[in-house]
Amino acid sequence: MMTGFPDKIFNVSKNGFDQLALEVFDFQYQHNILYKSFVDALKINIGDIDGVTKIPFLPISFFKTREIKTTSFEAEIIFESSGTTQNVNSRHHVKDRSLYENSFIQGFEKFYGPVNNWCIIGLLPSYLERNNSSLVSMVDGLIKLSGHPQSGFYLHEHEKLNRTLQHLESDKQHTMLIGVTFALIDFAENYELRLRNTIVMETGGMKGRRKELTRQESHEFLKNRLGVDEAHSEYGMTELLSQAYSKGEGKFECAPWMKVLVRNEDDPLDVHRKGTGVINVIDLANIYSCSFIATDDAGNIFDNGVFEISGRLDNSDLRGCSLLVF
């Protein structure tokens, strides 16, 4: 059993990331029964795994049907994804909630500075209406840490939100409006503002709520209506404990303990550090779950590690990834 892992994770250097990832892989291979079964089914020689591109990535769909746990534990919290009645939701069993809190707080502050410099406003109606949302948990934590009297969640109170934003602008208060995309667009359709001290951050989420827009179209609309120079974005998911952020143009950067790679859609073991394909995520904060996730997101990784998301695969069962039958 590995001790002091959280300290290693949140203090990992750029040069030390790959070695720590290999240590985490070894730990999870030894102590995660399902992940070990998945790796063994690939008939890979463990001794040949000497770099992050050779580590097997678990298809994200496994979170819908199995408990993904490294070591045996009773979950302190179980995050659950959104979905329709026709879909099975993902469930993320979190051993230690403080791991998630450390990850989102330190990740946020590496991009935006101390949380207590901000007024944090959450516009997440679809998420607030259900339990166990990791996004709501994150924004709630940021709201509490901000300590600002006007930090808080708004459900459908657009007029109140409009007045609050104008008041914060007049005070020149650094403000962050974090919202699901459809809710931000709904608000912006009704209110035109010129926000100079406010960051508007979308977290994705349009499907089934209104006419689908590309990220570029939604960002242009928000910029024009709310008067911001750029629309920021957050990239996270139920199955992860860490986030990547974009400060404009949909170009994302990861927290230091998170890395994205790209795989060939037709060969999930053909993984690269840059290029176009399907996104794999290494999230070292997922130490008691699985840190190596093969997502359904298509994207591109640039030479400097910055990445963009171009869409999702048409089929949720990834070709070449349904390797185990239980």
The 10s digit of each residue's pLDDT in 76-125 is 999 999 764 457 899 999 999 999 999 999 999 999 999 999 999 999 98
Is the whole-model pTM more than 0.85?
A: yes
Residue 321 pLDDT > 50: no
Alpha-helical regions (H) of the chain: 5-10, 17-31, 33-41, 97-112, 125-128, 134-146, 158-170, 181-190, 215-226
- Torsion sign, CA atoms 58, 239, 207, 278: negative
Q: How confident is the model at residue 129 (pLDDT cuts 50, 70, 90)?
A: confident
Q: Please, which pLDDT band fits residue 315 given cuts at 50, 70 and 90?
A: low
Report pLDDT for 85.
46
pLDDT of 256 over the 90 cut: yes
Per-residue pLDDT, 87: 73
Other C-beta atoms closer than 10 Å to the C-beta of 55 total: 24
Q: Kindly tell me the sign of the dihedral angle through the C-alpha atoms of 139, 144, 145, 148.
A: positive
pLDDT score recorded for residue 134 = 95
Least Cα distance to 227 among 187, 190, 201, 188 occurs for 188
Residue 249's region, left for phi above 0, alpha for psi from -120 to 50, else beta, is left
Residue 66 · residue 53 · CB < 8 Å = no
Sequence-separated contacts (24+) of 33-39 with Cβ below 8 Å: 34/62, 34/66, 34/67, 34/68, 34/69, 35/68, 35/70, 35/290, 37/324, 38/62, 38/323, 38/324
Q: Does position 318 have pLDDT exceeding 50, yes or no? A: no
> What is the rounded distance in angstroms from the CA atom of residue 67 to the CA atom of residue 261?
24
The dihedral through the CA atoms of 75, 79, 81, 84 has a sign that is positive
Q: At what angle do helices 33-41 and 17-31 cross, to 10 degrees?
A: 100
CA–CA dist 59, 82 (Å, integer): 18
56 vs 295: CA distance, rounded Å:
13
pLDDT of 320 strictly over 60: no
- Structure tokens of 245? 């952020």
> In terms of C-beta density within 10 A (0-12 exposed, 13-18 middle, 19 or more buried), how is residue 15 classed?
exposed
